[in-house]
Amino acid sequence: MNNCQRQTTPVLCDTSNIQWNVLFQFFISNIKNDFIKCSIYNRSKYTTDRKIIRIFLLVFFLMKIF
Protein backbone atom coordinates (compact mmCIF):
# COMPACT_ATOMS: atom_id res chain seq x y z
CA MET A 1 0.00 0.00 0.00
CA ASN A 2 1.57 3.26 -1.18
CA ASN A 3 4.98 1.51 -1.23
CA CYS A 4 5.08 1.61 2.59
CA GLN A 5 3.16 -1.51 3.54
CA ARG A 6 3.71 -4.78 1.75
CA GLN A 7 2.09 -8.18 2.07
CA THR A 8 2.28 -11.24 -0.14
CA THR A 9 0.28 -14.40 -0.68
CA PRO A 10 1.70 -17.90 -0.72
CA VAL A 11 3.00 -19.08 -4.08
CA LEU A 12 0.63 -21.44 -5.91
CA CYS A 13 2.50 -24.06 -7.92
CA ASP A 14 1.32 -26.23 -10.82
CA THR A 15 -2.30 -25.16 -10.85
CA SER A 16 -4.67 -23.71 -13.40
CA ASN A 17 -7.28 -22.95 -10.71
CA ILE A 18 -5.80 -19.83 -9.17
CA GLN A 19 -7.50 -18.56 -6.02
CA TRP A 20 -6.07 -16.63 -3.12
CA ASN A 21 -8.23 -16.68 -0.02
CA VAL A 22 -6.00 -14.50 2.08
CA LEU A 23 -6.98 -11.54 4.24
CA PHE A 24 -4.71 -8.52 4.55
CA GLN A 25 -4.88 -5.62 6.91
CA PHE A 26 -3.47 -2.21 5.96
CA PHE A 27 -3.30 1.02 7.90
CA ILE A 28 -4.91 3.94 6.06
CA SER A 29 -3.47 7.38 6.62
CA ASN A 30 -5.38 9.37 3.99
CA ILE A 31 -8.56 7.75 2.69
CA LYS A 32 -8.86 10.07 -0.31
CA ASN A 33 -5.29 9.59 -1.60
CA ASP A 34 -4.15 6.17 -0.40
CA PHE A 35 -4.09 3.36 -2.92
CA ILE A 36 -3.38 -0.35 -2.97
CA LYS A 37 -1.10 -1.66 -5.69
CA CYS A 38 -1.65 -5.32 -6.60
CA SER A 39 0.84 -7.18 -8.76
CA ILE A 40 0.60 -10.78 -9.94
CA TYR A 41 3.74 -12.59 -11.03
CA ASN A 42 4.44 -15.85 -12.75
CA ARG A 43 7.18 -17.33 -10.57
CA SER A 44 9.90 -19.39 -12.18
CA LYS A 45 12.73 -21.47 -10.74
CA TYR A 46 15.04 -20.88 -13.67
CA THR A 47 14.35 -17.32 -14.84
CA THR A 48 13.30 -14.05 -13.28
CA ASP A 49 9.70 -13.73 -12.18
CA ARG A 50 7.47 -12.37 -14.92
CA LYS A 51 4.85 -9.73 -14.06
CA ILE A 52 1.43 -10.70 -15.42
CA ILE A 53 -0.64 -7.74 -14.23
CA ARG A 54 -0.48 -4.71 -11.96
CA ILE A 55 -3.51 -2.74 -10.80
CA PHE A 56 -3.96 0.28 -8.55
CA LEU A 57 -7.04 0.51 -6.34
CA LEU A 58 -7.96 3.75 -4.64
CA VAL A 59 -9.04 3.08 -1.06
CA PHE A 60 -11.72 5.76 -1.33
CA PHE A 61 -13.53 3.82 -4.07
CA LEU A 62 -13.16 0.51 -2.25
CA MET A 63 -14.81 2.02 0.82
CA LYS A 64 -17.80 3.05 -1.30
CA ILE A 65 -18.20 -0.46 -2.69
CA PHE A 66 -18.15 -2.20 0.69
pTM for this one? 0.62
Are residues 39 and 51 in contact, defined by beta-carbon separation less than 8 angstroms?
A: yes
Phi-psi region of 59 (alpha: psi -120 to 50; beta: other; left: phi over 0): alpha
The pLDDT tens digits for 2-47 are 667 888 888 877 777 877 788 888 888 888 888 888 888 888 788 8
**pLDDT value of residue 2:** 61
